[in-house]
Amino acid sequence: MEQLTGSIVALVTPMHEDGSVDYDALRKLIDWHIAEGTDCLGVVGTTGESPTVDVEEHCEIIRVTVEQAAGRVPV
């Protein structure tokens, strides 16, 4: 297993006013962090609103993050 080092960011999960996940904003946030030098992304932890999203949203947030990161940084 590769050791993770550097700047590891616990992402917030962007939400719309109605409480639904803002996937477009999430994609932009991921790209911004990677462009700014973040070395690893953590998603749907307590910073990422894991207590407020359901299981399907939880899985979709992970899927979108992995897809958007596209191997550029570990998730």
Structural domain contains residue 74: no
Structural domain contains residue 25: yes
Please count the structural domains in the chain: 1
Structural domain contains residue 3: no
Structural domain harbouring 37 = 8-69
Structural domain contains residue 46: yes
Structural domain contains residue 30: yes
Structural domain contains residue 18: yes
pTM (two decimals): 0.90
Structural domain contains residue 22: yes
- pLDDT tens digit sequence for 21-64: 999 999 999 999 999 999 999 998 877 677 888 999 999 999 99
Cα–Cα distance for residue pair 8/15, rounded to 1 Å? 22
Write down the H helix ranges in the chain: 23-35, 55-69
